């Protein structure tokens, strides 16, 4: 069962960003499936691969979304970028800790990621849904 299911309540009125959020959610669901299905021996390897994919996609998505916000003169861009930067550092540190064997992926970590993603899209990202690039 998927951890997060995208529906219209997640839409930010921008097809390109909506598609990126769908991919971001897919990667999160894959990470969750890996945790649920991998045996202990393979868990670290699978978590490392999927979390690295999530880290890289998060960076790609944040850069694209930030370019849109700047082009659309979104007034809350600086505050939104700060939230992005903080989360990206968190994901990057998690990747490093898993690679170095200091962290093991758990359902609590997945719950935190799910909560952050849902909260960010539904509250922060949706604030720019009325903005367009002139």
The footprint of ligand FEO (CB under 6 A) covers: 21, 61, 65, 80, 84, 120-121, 124-125
Closer Cβ to ligand FEO, 22 or 102, answer by number: 22
Residue bearing tokens 């949706």? 126
Gap between the Cα atoms of 98 and 3, Å rounded = 21
- Least distance (Å) from ligand FEO to the CB of residue 126? 10
- Least distance (Å) from ligand FEO to the CB of residue 104? 27
- Least distance (Å) from ligand FEO to the CB of residue 54? 13
102 by Cβ neighbours in 10 Å (0-12 / 13-18 / 19+) ranks as: exposed
Gap between the Cα atoms of 35 and 42, Å rounded = 10
Closer Cβ to ligand FEO, 42 or 60, answer by number: 60
Closer Cβ to ligand FEO, 46 or 69, answer by number: 69
Q: Which residue number has the CB closest to ligand FEO? A: 125
Contact yes or no for 97/103 (Cβ under 8 A): yes
């Amino acid at each position: 069962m998927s951890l997060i299911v995208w529906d219209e309540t997640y839409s930010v009125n921008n097809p390109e960003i909506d598609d990126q959020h769908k991919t971001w959610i897919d990667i999160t669901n894959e990470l969750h499936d890996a945790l649920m299905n991998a045996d202990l021996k393979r868990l670290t390897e699978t978590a490392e691969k999927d979390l690295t994919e999530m880290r890289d996609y998060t960076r790609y998505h944040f850069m694209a979304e930030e370019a849109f916000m700047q082009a659309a003169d979104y007034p809350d861009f600086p505050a939104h970028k700060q939230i992005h930067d903080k989360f990206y550092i968190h994901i990057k540190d998690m990747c490093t800790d898993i690679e170095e064997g200091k962290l093991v992926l758990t359902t609590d970590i997945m719950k935190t990621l799910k909560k952050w993603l849902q909260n960010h899209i539904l509250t922060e990202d949706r604030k720019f849904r009325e903005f367009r690039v002139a």
